[in-house]
C-alpha cells in the first residue's frame, strides 16, 4: 500500500498496529484476505483453549476491536480503511468456534468467511452501510463470521 494511502497511520501506535492486523492489512491487493490468512495461525493457538476460554477471548477481542478500529479509522480520517483488518481476525475466529484444528476445516472456514465477508448478503450489507465507528467496522465481519460458522458446523456435522 502506498504511504500516502496510509495517512495518519502510525505503526508505532499499538492500537493502529493491532487494527491493521500487525501489518497483515498493508498489502495493496486483497488486504482482507491477507488479514484473514494472518488470523489462521492464531486460530491454531486458540484451538487449544477450552470452549469457554475461546469465547472469552472472542468477546475481549471484539470489544478491543471496536476500540482499535475506531481509533485507527479516526486517525486515518477514513471510515473502514481497507488496511484495517482486525475485524477479519475476529470474524474468522468466530467462524472457527468449537472446530477442532485441522487444515481441512481451517481452509474451509477461511473460504466460507471470505465468501460471506466479500459477498455481504443481507443483513451484513445493511450493517456495513448503516453502522459507523469501530462498531460499524467490526459488526459486519462478526455477522459474516456467524453465517460462516453456521455453514461450517453443518458441513462438519454431515462430512466431518
Res 37: pLDDT:
98
In order along the chain (160 residues), what is the average pLDDT of each group of 10 residues? 76 95 95 97 97 98 97 92 96 97 97 96 90 93 98 95
Res 128: pLDDT:
87
DSSP 8-state secondary structure symbol assigned to residue 13 = S
| Contact yes or no for 27/1 (Cβ under 8 A) | yes
The domain spans of the chain are 48-159
Cis peptide leading into 123, omega within 30 of 0?
yes
pTM for the full predicted model: 0.95
Res 4: pLDDT:
60
Res 3: pLDDT:
56
Res 79: pLDDT:
86
Res 56: pLDDT:
98
| Contact yes or no for 36/24 (Cβ under 8 A) | no
Amino acid at each position: 500500500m502506498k504511504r500516502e494511502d496510509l495517512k495518519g497511520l502510525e505503526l508505532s501506535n499499538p492500537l493502529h498496529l493491532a487494527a491493521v492486523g500487525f501489518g497483515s492489512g498493508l498489502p495493496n491487493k486483497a488486504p482482507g484476505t491477507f488479514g484473514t490468512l494472518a488470523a489462521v495461525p492464531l486460530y491454531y493457538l486458540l484451538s487449544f483453549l477450552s470452549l469457554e476460554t475461546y469465547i472469552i477471548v472472542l468477546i475481549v477481542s471484539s470489544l478491543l476491536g471496536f476500540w482499535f478500529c475506531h481509533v485507527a479509522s479516526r486517525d486515518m480520517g477514513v471510515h473502514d480503511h481497507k488496511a484495517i483488518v482486525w475485524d477479519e481476525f475476529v470474524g474468522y475466529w468466530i467462524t472457527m468456534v468449537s472446530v477442532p484444528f485441522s487444515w481441512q476445516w481451517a481452509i474451509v472456514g477461511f473460504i466460507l468467511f471470505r465468501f460471506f465477508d466479500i459477498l455481504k448478503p443481507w443483513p451484513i450489507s445493511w450493517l456495513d452501510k448503516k453502522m459507523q465507528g469501530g462498531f460499524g467496522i467490526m459488526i459486519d465481519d462478526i455477522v459474516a463470521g456467524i453465517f460462516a460458522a453456521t455453514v461450517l458446523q453443518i458441513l462438519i456435522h454431515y462430512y466431518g
